[in-house]
Chains A and B, each alone.
Chain A
Amino acid sequence: MASRTVAKDIITLRGSAAIVSEFFGYAANSVMFFYSILYNRGVYPEESFAKVKKYGLPMLLTQDEGVKSFITNLTAQLSEWLEAGKLQRVVMVIMSKATNEVLERWNFSIETDSHVFEKGVSREKSDREIMREIQAIMRQIASSITYLPCLDEPCVFDVLAYTDTDVAVPFTWIESDPKLIANPQMVKLHSFDTKIHKVDTLVSYKNDEWDEQ
């Protein structure tokens, strides 16, 4: 967070983009660990996660090199798009490995303050408050095990980015369909706001057959 001063908690566009992209990385790790706890399928086993302290909470980060590089590349690209003000939404999609059916969507909607982006002004907000808000979201992601339906099959994840149409598509990204769920159940989680970027979190999941009955 090189562009923030310690004395006044001033946040610039670059600093806010770094906070938000870091949050995505840790949130993705939380979601993956959550599934690894549930399934323990060996794709990302529980042992491959290491405990670190972040946002005042014990966070678990994967040690798999491939996943690490994937997430670092992802967060780097997201940070770039956030600084350019081109990113509208980030979606982490959980799909069945066998049928490619979308089972869950972790939706992170982003609202950018266009005034900051156009004029280059900075905002004031204390780090502690932002961390507290992110902490609440992480706790909710961890506690979502209580209401999300059980998935009894191996799953894979993918990451979608909703951007403006004038964004140049990087080499490692391709255009895709939104991978929607038909008649989903939705649960809205907390949001956090850096005064420049506001991130709303929502998880939508496929209706469980037992619930429908």
Chain B
Amino acid sequence: MILRTPPPKKQRAEPILHESPSPQVASEGRLVIYEDNPLAAPPPESPHQPSDHLLCTYQCRQMVKADFIDALSNAEKQIRDYQSKLEILNENLSKAEVERKKFRDQFLYAEQELAAAKGREQMLHDQLLKEVNDSQERFKKQLETNNELKGKLQNELNLRKKAESSAASAEEKAADIEGKLTQFSQSIEREKKQLQNELSQLKGESKLSISRISADLERTEFRANCAEKESELLKEQLEDLKKQLNECLNQKSEVEKKMSSFTFQEVTSSESSILIKHLQEELRNYESEVREARKLKSSHEDIELLKAKLLEEKGRRERAESELSKLQEQQICLSNLEKELSLWKLIMKDIPGVSCPEDIPVKFATLQKEVIASTMKIGETNARLKQIEVGLDAAQLAKQNAEAEAALDKEKAEILKSEVKRIELMLSMVTEERNKLSNAINELKRHKNEEAGDEVASGTVVQELESSLAKKESCIKELERSLHEQKEINDRQHNEIKMLHDRLNNEARRIKSLDRETDRLRSEISLLESKLGHGDYSASNTKVLRMVNTLAVDNEAKQTIEALQTELQKTKEKLQALEELKSQSGDTGKLVDSYISEKITKLKEQIATLEKREERYKTVFADRISVFRRACCELFGYKNILGKNIELFS
């Protein structure tokens, strides 16, 4: 301000020189226009102010004016600059406000998105919690069902064991009873057959014996007749022989006489008589020997007849003894059978529902049906057990899967929790940044009023806001991407787990079926091996034969054979003696009389013919007896093989 009251002059030059550069100085410098105002004498402000002001000239004034004008122009310029700057700043401020608004909108949008993401996270968290809870509940339910199934399985196993044990015991009993029944029935049938066979044999044998006896009677009668005829013939022959002998004797006496008459000179009478005596004695001896031979022959024939009778009687005796022994055995068997019958009757009394033997097959059939039904039940229970086991295995697998899924879900929940925490942290960071931004905006507003030096700070704050928003957006995008990826991964893993689960179930079922087959095959193999070792056989392909213990029988046969052998030796010795006698009689007869020898030869021929007849009879008998034996063998199935005994008849 230009003071109207000029200062003292002296003071004018100094303050003007000192205060000219700044308008404020100028305003304080107080440029005073020189006015000759003698009236307005300035108060002496300072003693040192000279009174030079009166010396200021027009130049000074012009200078001052020029300076003032320069200063004014400068000030105006400055003002204009400041105004332009202000305008620019205003524009910038408006721009900044617009951008602030924009960022604020973006911030609000980000906040909304954050809230939405938070809400979604919360929902996901809730969902996860629900799923975890559901899986836990399912897991609990499955555990409960597993426990129930285990209890049921235990019960079923116990029932099965009981049923198996009862079935095994029933089977064993039934098998025992079956075996005993079959054995007894077989033994009874065999004994019946044997008894019937023996009865028929006895009948046949009795018939045969009767027929044989009658045949023997006839034979003996025939033989007797033949013997009588033969004896008559022999008697006639004997009489003829006697007559011949007498004739021979007569002839001999005549010959002796003749010889005595003719050969008297050559041989002394005593010698001839001695010779004759000797010859007579020899004749007598020969006659006696012939008689003895005849007796021996008759006795031999008698002996043979007796032997045959003896053999027949022995055979009959043996047969009777064997039949007696058989009778005794059969009596013993009968008593055993009666005992067994009584035992069986007692057993029948014990068996419920059986009153008579005819009920036994019915009862047996019912027992078999019960056994079959129980085996079927056992099979069904086994099948059910297998199913339950399969279900249990499936439940265990499901349980394992559920546990794995629960573990996975827990892990996911933990991961999500960590993500939630991370997001919360980010949210807190974002809220902090928002607060910072709001503070910055407030500061901007404050500084906007002041319009100085705040633009840099607002720009930095705006940049910070932008960067934080960008970071948040990127975080949100990353979160969303990670969520999406995790969802995809989870879905893929679920699908893989399901596929693996299905494959596991199929493989487990296959393994179970294979195990069952191996068990069945092993049981069959063990059954077959036990049957093989046990001695079982199929009656259609195999029959069981037993060698008869002939050790006892052989002893008796040996004894009879030895007895027969001794008799044979004795008869052989006798025959040898006879033959020697015959040969002796033949040797000495040559010396005595050829006629007697002829007679003797005739007798021998007769004996030979008789022997031939005997042999013929024997061959015929052998043929007939072989036919008879063959017929007996075909009829009854038994045949006797005579080895050494045949030699007795030769």
- A-side residues, CB < 8 A to B, are 66-67, 69-70, 73-74, 77, 88-89, 91, 105, 107, 109, 158-165, 167, 169, 171-182, 184, 186, 188, 202, 204
Pick from B539, B554, B639: contact of A66, CB under 8 Å: B554
9 extra interface residue pairs, beta carbon distance < 8 Å, beyond A161-B546, A186-B534: A70-B549, A70-B550, A162-B537, A162-B543, A165-B543, A169-B545, A179-B535, A180-B534, A188-B533
Q: How far is the CB of A143 from chain B (nearest CB, A)?
A: 19
- Whether the Cβ atoms of A158 and B549 lie closer than 8 Å is yes
Q: How far is the CB of A75 from chain B (nearest CB, A)?
A: 11
Q: Which residue of chain A lies nearest to B180 when distances are taken between CB atoms in the complex?
A: A182
- Per-residue CB proximity of B101-123 to A under 8 Å, as 1/0? 00000000000000000000000
Q: List 26 A-B contacts (CB under 8 A).
A: A70-B550, A74-B547, A89-B535, A89-B542, A158-B546, A159-B547, A161-B545, A162-B544, A163-B543, A163-B545, A164-B543, A165-B540, A165-B542, A165-B543, A171-B639, A174-B548, A176-B546, A177-B183, A177-B186, A178-B536, A180-B535, A180-B536, A184-B533, A186-B530, A186-B533, A188-B533
- Whether the Cβ atoms of A204 and B546 lie closer than 8 Å is no
- Whether the Cβ atoms of B176 and A182 lie closer than 8 Å is yes
Among B257-279, those with CB < 8 Å from A are none
- Whether the Cβ atoms of B533 and A202 lie closer than 8 Å is yes
Q: How far is the CB of B555 from chain A (nearest CB, A)?
A: 7
Chain B interface secondary structure, helix, strand, loop or mixed?
A: mixed
8 A-B pairs closest in CB distance: A176-B546, A66-B551, A186-B533, A173-B545, A161-B545, A202-B533, A178-B535, A162-B542
Using Cβ atoms and an 8 Å threshold, which residues of chain A touch B548?
172-174
- Whether the Cβ atoms of B534 and A184 lie closer than 8 Å is yes
Does any Cβ of A come within 8 Å of B40's Cβ?
no
- Whether the Cβ atoms of A174 and B535 lie closer than 8 Å is no
Does any Cβ of A come within 8 Å of B532's Cβ?
yes
Using Cβ atoms and an 8 Å threshold, which residues of chain B touch A160?
544-546
Among B591-650, those with CB < 8 Å from A are 639, 641
Does any Cβ of A come within 8 Å of B179's Cβ?
yes
Does any Cβ of A come within 8 Å of B541's Cβ?
yes
- Whether the Cβ atoms of B530 and A107 lie closer than 8 Å is no
Using Cβ atoms and an 8 Å threshold, which residues of chain B touch A172?
547-548, 550
Using Cβ atoms and an 8 Å threshold, which residues of chain A touch B535?
89, 91, 105, 107, 178-180, 204
- Whether the Cβ atoms of B542 and A163 lie closer than 8 Å is yes
Q: Which residue of chain A lies nearest to B554 when distances are taken between CB atoms in the complex?
A: A66
Q: A107 and B533 in contact (CB under 8 A), knowing A161-B545, A164-B541, A173-B546?
A: yes
Docked complex Cα distance between A211 and B546 (Å): 31
Using Cβ atoms and an 8 Å threshold, which residues of chain B touch A77?
547
Q: How far is the CB of B534 from chain A (nearest CB, A)?
A: 6
- Whether the Cβ atoms of B544 and A175 lie closer than 8 Å is yes
Docked complex Cα distance between A88 and B641 (Å): 28
Pick from A107, A165, A173: contact of B547, CB under 8 Å: A173
Q: How far is the CB of A204 from chain B (nearest CB, A)?
A: 6
- Whether the Cβ atoms of B186 and A174 lie closer than 8 Å is no
- Whether the Cβ atoms of B530 and A67 lie closer than 8 Å is no
- Whether the Cβ atoms of A177 and B550 lie closer than 8 Å is no
Interface-central residue, B176, B183, B542, B555, by most chain A CB under 10 Å = B542
Using Cβ atoms and an 8 Å threshold, which residues of chain B touch A171?
639, 641
Using Cβ atoms and an 8 Å threshold, which residues of chain B touch A184?
533-534
Docked complex Cα distance between A63 and B536 (Å): 34
- Whether the Cβ atoms of A161 and B534 lie closer than 8 Å is no
Q: Which residue of chain A lies nearest to B182 when distances are taken between CB atoms in the complex?
A: A177
Docked complex Cα distance between A14 and B532 (Å): 27
Using Cβ atoms and an 8 Å threshold, which residues of chain A touch B547?
70, 73-74, 77, 158-159, 161, 172-173
- Whether the Cβ atoms of A182 and B179 lie closer than 8 Å is yes
Q: Which residue of chain B lies nearest to A77 when distances are taken between CB atoms in the complex?
A: B547
Q: How far is the CB of B307 from chain A (nearest CB, A)?
A: 27
Docked complex Cα distance between A159 and B187 (Å): 19
Q: How far is the CB of A154 from chain B (nearest CB, A)?
A: 15
Q: How far is the CB of B336 from chain A (nearest CB, A)?
A: 11
Docked complex Cα distance between A176 and B190 (Å): 10
Among B490-544, those with CB < 8 Å from A are 530, 532-537, 539-544
Q: Which residue of chain B lies nearest to A78 when distances are taken between CB atoms in the complex?
A: B547
Docked complex Cα distance between A66 and B556 (Å): 12
Docked complex Cα distance between A67 and B543 (Å): 25
Q: How far is the CB of B166 from chain A (nearest CB, A)?
A: 18
Using Cβ atoms and an 8 Å threshold, which residues of chain A touch B541?
164-165
- Whether the Cβ atoms of B551 and A67 lie closer than 8 Å is yes
- Per-residue CB proximity of B236-266 to A under 8 Å, as 1/0? 0000000000000000000000000000000
Docked complex Cα distance between A177 and B546 (Å): 9
- Whether the Cβ atoms of B550 and A204 lie closer than 8 Å is no
Docked complex Cα distance between A188 and B534 (Å): 12
- Whether the Cβ atoms of A204 and B534 lie closer than 8 Å is yes
Docked complex Cα distance between A178 and B542 (Å): 11
- Whether the Cβ atoms of A175 and B534 lie closer than 8 Å is no
Q: Which residue of chain A lies nearest to B552 when distances are taken between CB atoms in the complex?
A: A66
Q: A177 and B540 in contact (CB under 8 A), knowing A70-B550, A171-B641?
A: no
Using Cβ atoms and an 8 Å threshold, which residues of chain A touch B179?
182
- Whether the Cβ atoms of A177 and B544 lie closer than 8 Å is yes
Q: Which residue of chain B lies nearest to A159 when distances are taken between CB atoms in the complex?
A: B547
Q: A164 and B176 in contact (CB under 8 A), knowing A107-B533, A172-B550?
A: no
Docked complex Cα distance between A107 and B529 (Å): 13
- Whether the Cβ atoms of A175 and B537 lie closer than 8 Å is no
Q: How far is the CB of B644 from chain A (nearest CB, A)?
A: 15
Docked complex Cα distance between A91 and B534 (Å): 11
- Per-residue CB proximity of B545-584 to A under 8 Å, as 1/0? 1111111001100000000000000000000000000000
- Whether the Cβ atoms of B544 and A161 lie closer than 8 Å is yes
Q: How far is the CB of A43 from chain B (nearest CB, A)?
A: 10
Using Cβ atoms and an 8 Å threshold, which residues of chain A touch B555?
66
Using Cβ atoms and an 8 Å threshold, which residues of chain A touch B536?
178, 180
Docked complex Cα distance between A175 and B189 (Å): 13
Using Cβ atoms and an 8 Å threshold, which residues of chain A touch B551?
66-67, 70
Docked complex Cα distance between A158 and B530 (Å): 22
Q: A204 and B537 in contact (CB under 8 A), knowing A167-B543, A176-B546, A177-B183?
A: no
Q: Which residue of chain B lies nearest to A180 when distances are taken between CB atoms in the complex?
A: B535
Docked complex Cα distance between A66 and B554 (Å): 8
Docked complex Cα distance between A139 and B541 (Å): 33
Docked complex Cα distance between A110 and B537 (Å): 14
Q: How far is the CB of B1 from chain A (nearest CB, A)?
A: 142
Q: How far is the CB of B63 from chain A (nearest CB, A)?
A: 148
